[in-house]
Structure 1
């Protein structure tokens, strides 16, 4: 794994360690899902349930892949090793979570997410709002609207690509 992927995985680990205890556990995913659903005002909706389900699926897939010592917690080293495999199966393991997150932020179901909704969701995940806004601007090339294809392309590249010229997707979750 190259230095750029390693930086991105470090950033992702820090975001997923929602409670800041140095490991990732099911409680981190529950806490993050609650924060995102609250920020999107979708706690008791079909969209909210879909997002919560995909967060649970992502946790289970990550745990099954990464938890080498089967203690129910994922260390930074376990996470780094597992993301190589998870990245290879992005479409089935990780992609559905990003799709559900997109639909959650697409409040009017028009297939587009505006800057305010994008920033609200990323801020709930733990990305500072100014960095989330800058990410939105880069991803949309300041068009003011994000499509699901733009998000999925950026997310796939975040997990799998190391091309330093592709700064928009590398900064999906803020500065590295």
Structure 2
């Protein structure tokens, strides 16, 4: 694993450690899911339940891959190794979470996410608003809404790609 992936995984760890205690555990995923669904007022809707379920699936995949001692906590080093393994199964383990987040932000179910919806998700997971806005601008062209395909491509690159030319995907969660 190269330096760029290390930086991206460190950023992701920081965001997933929603309670800031230095480890990732199931309660972090529940806390983050609650923040995101509450930001849209979707805690009890089908979209909100789907998002929360996908957060749980992501947590379980990480735990099964990284939590060798079974204590229910994943440290930074364990996380880096787990994410690199889990990212090999992006389409089945990680991608569904991104799709659920996209659909939560797609307020009118037209298959497009505008700036406000995108920024709302990223801010709810802990990305500063200015960085979330800059990310939206990098992912879209001329203020156009974000498409599902563009988000999924950027997310897949975030987990797997080390090509410095793919700046939009490397900065998916703001500055590294």
Deviation at 1:141, TM superposition (A): 2.5
Q: For each residue in 1:131-159, what CA deviation from the matched residue of structure 2 results, as whole angstroms up to 9, or x when unmatched?
A: 00000000013333000001000000000
Structure 2 unmatched runs, 5+: none
Runs of 4+ in 1 over 4 A off after TM superposition: none
SS at match of 1:51: helix
CA RMSD of aligned residues (A): 0.7
The answer for the alignment partner of 2:170 in structure 1 is 170
Measure, in 1, the Cα distance between the counterparts of 2:74 and 2:105.
28
The aligned counterpart of 1:99 is 99
Once residues 65 and 40 of structure 1 are traced to their aligned partners in structure 2, the CA distance between those partners, rounded to angstroms, is 31
1:12 corresponding residue in structure 2: 12
1:55 corresponds to: 55
Q: Which residues in structure 2 correspond to 1:20-169 (within 5 Å)?
A: 20-169=20-169
Q: Given the two structures, how large is their TM-score scaled by the length of structure 2? A: 0.98
- Listed as ranges, the gaps of 5+ residues in structure 1 are none
Distance 2:40 2:144 in 1: 19
Q: C-alpha separation between the residues in 2 aligned to 1:61 and 1:44? A: 24
Distance in structure 1 (CA, Å) of the matches to 2:29 and 2:166: 28
Deviations, residues 4-27 of structure 1 (Å, cap 9, x unaligned): 000000000000000000000000
